[in-house]
Structure formats: structure tokens, C-alpha cells
């Protein structure tokens, strides 16, 4: 109500809309001078130096080129892929036919991508060689907007289910669309340096399959038995950077926590199912047969979980070491263990300890580190 009735807000919104429209049409027309003129007209200043002395707006070359061929005269110029998606498109029919897939279905893959980034920085946020995890979801023409909305919602739900913190994710809808898209949005994550893109969701229409068909001369069509007709499917893509995901998890999970006794601990509050080491097994002392008992426990858990064995230093110090690498559970073998076959299991986040029977350990640890509950919640 306030937004639609307050004179000042309405006036500002109209200004924003006018600028956005002008910006969008300049981008779409590749009008570099027009973009520069917007910067000049709006009197935009560099937030760091305070200057308005801008260079001309230029188009940057974002692809890496190289040569293929043994002799230089015969070599042809090729480009390193800036996204992994095209491999999926050229294999679309192989997968559909051999997997006997019916539309709608998706193909997902992970692989290297290369971009000639002008400024590669912010740790592993922006690199020239990175790893992408992409899915192309093939749908009936005309249903792509529904699927686009479905995947936007699903992917956001998945990010939130990782438990990296409330309010850490948000959508950013694209103003300017790439030449192949009819809708696009980013899921942004609040990195230590602000909200930045983590994943892109794009409705790519039939652009890619159509182009491959055109330039290869090979049909890339799907026969839809329900409609009794062939068509080039439309595609909704989800594209996420593995490295950015890793940075998102690490940066949001790392905490320096003040404890009640005034000391601090470094702790990686990483979700248990993502923790690289799931469990640490520690004999309270190095003697009295406790290390041997600890080894027996490892023999129970080692087939399913990455573990660490640690008998060095005081137990408190050992807990801290595990906290710092995000190990969700520490199992301690003490003298009582020798008497009644129970151990303590300490939880990283709450630091609480519980006594449990060794016979129940496998079941307890399996349940606690399983990703199944998260997947079921989606
Ligand atoms: P940005 O606007 O940050 O440059 P983009 O819009 O070019 O990203 P997309 O083309 O949508 O990104 O690529 C999909 C995903 O690949 C991104 O969401 C991101 O996670 C990842 N990605 C893109 N470029 C890089 C890079 N240089 N280094 C690491 N990851 C990247």
C-alpha cells in the first residue's frame, strides 16, 4: 500500500523504471555509447576513488581461444568451453534413446569451464578455470515457464535445506537476457563480501538444440508419444559453480565462538552430511587397553564413514582440533567402556555428551550424518 500510494516512493519507482528500461534497451542493442551516457547522466561516481572520469564502455572477450592440429598451417582455432551445457545438448538424443527417457527429464553433469575473466579474484569466487554443475531439463514447448518457476523454487528450497543460515539466499531476476534465454534468475548468496551469484536458472528455449541441428545437419528431435508428434524440446537449465558452493559453505560455516568459561574455539558448523570427516574416535588415555578398544570401534565405522583416530594431547585439545575441521561427532573411549561397552558421543555444535552402547553406534552415527532427511524434505 505504502509503495503504491506514497508520492515520493511512486516518483522514485518511476525514475528507477525509466532508467532500467533505458539500460535494458542499450544493453540489448549493444549500444556502448548509450550505456556510457547513462553513467554520465546519472552522475555515477566510482565508490572507491570518488572520480567520474570513466573510460569508454567496452565489450570484453570472455572466451579462451587456442589451436587444434599438429601442424600450425592446418590448425584450426577452437575455444575452451565457457559452460559445460553444450556437451549435454550434443548427447541429448543418445541419453534419451539409450535411457528410454520421456519428456520431461533432465541430464546433469559436472565439469570444467573456462572464462577469460577480466578480474579473477575474491578467493575461489571468480576464477579463469572452474568447475560447474549443470542440469538441462527438457520440456514440451509452451510449458517452459511453468518448469522455470518450478526449478527456481526447487533450487531455492535445496539451498535453504543445507542449513547455511537464515536469509543467506535471495533471487535476482535478470534485466538483460542472454541471446539464448527467455527468462533468467540468479540465486544469490551472502558471501563475506556481499550478496553475489551462486547459481543461475535459465529458460534457454530451443535455442541450443536448434542451433546444433542447424549446423550439424543432424535432427535433434523428440517424438512425443502422447501428442503423436516430433519437436525440438525446450530447455530449463540450472547452473551452479562448485567452487562458489564450496566457498559459500566454508565461509558461512566458519565461526569463532566465545565459550562460557571465557575461552574461544574455532568451529566449522558445517551440516553433518557435508562434513569431510564424520567422526573422530579417541581413547581417553594411551594405555590400559583403551587404544585397542578404540580400534575396535573404528573397525565398525570405517566402512561407511571417513574417520580420524586421535590419541595425542589432552582430550579438550583434541575436541578443539575436530571442531576446527567440522567433525560433527567425537566418540571417546574411557575406562567405563572396558566395563560395560559404552562410549560417550560428543556433538560438535552443542558440545553435549551422551553415553551410548557400542552396539548402537553404527545406527546412531548413520542416522546423524545421512543426507536422506534433507532430500526427503524437498
Ligand atoms: P557472474 O555474473 O558472477 O560473472 P555469470 O552470470 O557469468 O556469473 P553463469 O554464466 O550463470 O554465471 O554461470 C553459472 C555459474 O557458474 C555461476 O552461478 C557461478 O556459480 C559459476 N561461475 C561463473 N563464472 C565463474 C568464475 N569465473 N569462477 C567461478 N565460478 C563461476
Dist CA 141 CA 202 (whole Å): 15
Q: Whose CA is nearest to atom 8 of ligand 1?
A: 197
Question: Which DSSP letter does residue 119 get?
Answer: S
Q: Report the atom number in ligand 1 closest to the C-alpha of 120.
A: 27
Q: Whose CA is nearest to atom 23 of ligand 1?
A: 241
CA 37, 41, 42, 47: dihedral to nearest 10 degrees?
Answer: 60
Has residue 175 got a pLDDT over 80?
no
Q: Whose CA is nearest to atom 12 of ligand 1?
A: 200
Helix (H) / strand (E) element for 105: namely strand 105-114
Question: Which DSSP letter does residue 120 get?
Answer: -
Q: Is 234 helix (H, G, I), strand (E, B) or coil?
A: strand
Q: Report the atom number in ligand 1 closest to the C-alpha of 82.
A: 10
Has residue 374 got a pLDDT over 90?
no
Tell me: the pLDDT tens digits for 75-88?
A: 889 999 999 999 99
Domain 60-250 has CATH 3.40.50.720: no
Q: Whose CA is nearest to atom 14 of ligand 1?
A: 239
In this structure, the strands spanning 342-347 and 329-333 are antiparallel
Tell me: the pLDDT tens digits for 237-286?
A: 999 999 999 999 999 999 999 988 899 999 999 999 999 999 999 999 99
In this structure, the strands spanning 279-283 and 254-258 are unpaired
b/e for 272-299, b at 16 or more Cβ within 10 A? bbbbeebbbbbbbeeeeebbebbeebee
Has residue 196 got a pLDDT over 90?
yes
Q: Look up the CATH architecture of domain 261-376.
A: 3-Layer(aba) Sandwich (3.40)
> What per-residue confidence (pLDDT) applies to 71?
75
Tell me how long the chain is: 378
Question: Which DSSP letter does residue 46 get?
Answer: -
On whether the CB atoms of residues 346 and 360 are closer than 8 A, the answer is no
235 CB neighbour count, 10 Å cutoff: 28
b/e for 81-97, b at 16 or more Cβ within 10 A? beebbeebbeebeeebe
Is 243 touching ligand 1 by the criterion CB < 6 Å?
yes
Amino acid at each position: 500500500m505504502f509503495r503504491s500510494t506514497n508520492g515520493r516512493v511512486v516518483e522514485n519507482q518511476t525514475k528507477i523504471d525509466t532508467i532500467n528500461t533505458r539500460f535494458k534497451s542499450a544493453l540489448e542493442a549493444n549500444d556502448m555509447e548509450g550505456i556510457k551516457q547513462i553513467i554520465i547522466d546519472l552522475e555515477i561516481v566510482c565508490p572507491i576513488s570518488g572520480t567520474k572520469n570513466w573510460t569508454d564502455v567496452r565489450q570484453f572477450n570472455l572466451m579462451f581461444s587456442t589451436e587444434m592440429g599438429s601442424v600450425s598451417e592446418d590448425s584450426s582455432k577452437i575455444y575452451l568451453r565457457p559452460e559445460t551445457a553444450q556437451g549435454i545438448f550434443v548427447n541429448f538424443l543418445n541419453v534419451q534413446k539409450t535411457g528410454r527417457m520421456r519428456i520431461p527429464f533432465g541430464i546433469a553433469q559436472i565439469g570444467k569451464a573456462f572464462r577469460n575473466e577480466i578480474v579473477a579474484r575474491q578467493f575461489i569466487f571468480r576464477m579463469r578455470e572452474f568447475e560447474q554443475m549443470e542440469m538441462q531439463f527438457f520440456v514440451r514447448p509452451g510449458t517452459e515457464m511453468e518448469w522455470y518457476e518450478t526449478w527456481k523454487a526447487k533450487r531455492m528450497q535445496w539451498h535453504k535445506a543445507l542449513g547455511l543460515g537464515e536469509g543467506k539466499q535471495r533471487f535476482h531476476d535478470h534485466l538483460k537476457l542472454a541471446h539464448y534465454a527467455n527468462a533468467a534468475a540468479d540465486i544469490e548468496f551472502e558471501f563475506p563480501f556481499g550478496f553475489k551469484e551462486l547459481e543461475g536458472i535459465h529458460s534457454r528455449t530451443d535455442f541450443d538444440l536448434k542451433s546444433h541441428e542447424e549446423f550439424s545437419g543432424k535432427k535433434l528431435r523428440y517424438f512425443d508419444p502422447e501428442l503423436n508428434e516430433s519437436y525440438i524440446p525446450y530447455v530449463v537449465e540450472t547452473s551452479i559453480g562448485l567452487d562458489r558452493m564450496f566457498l559459500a559453505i566454508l565461509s558461512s560455516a566458519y565461526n569463532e565462538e566465545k565459550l562460557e568459561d571465557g575461552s574461544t574455539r574455532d568451529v566449522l558448523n558445517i551440516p553433518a552430511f557435508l562434513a569431510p570427516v564424520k567422526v573422530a574416535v579417541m581413547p581417553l588415555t594411551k594405555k590400559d587397553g583403551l587404544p585397542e578398544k578404540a580400534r575396535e570401534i573404528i573397525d565398525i565405522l570405517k566402512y561407511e564413514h571417513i574417520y580420524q583416530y586421535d590419541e595425542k594431547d589432552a582430550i579438550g585439545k583434541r575436541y578443539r582440533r575436530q571442531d576446527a575441521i567440522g567433525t560433527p561427532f567425537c566418540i571417546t573411549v574411557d575406562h567405563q567402556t572396558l566395563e560395560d561397552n559404552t562410549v560417550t558421543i560428543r556433538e560438535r555444535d552443542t558440545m553435549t555428551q551422551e553415553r551410548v552402547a557400542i552396539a548402537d553406534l553404527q545406527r546412531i552415527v548413520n542416522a546423524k550424518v545421512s543426507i536422506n532427511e534433507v532430500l526427503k524434505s524437498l
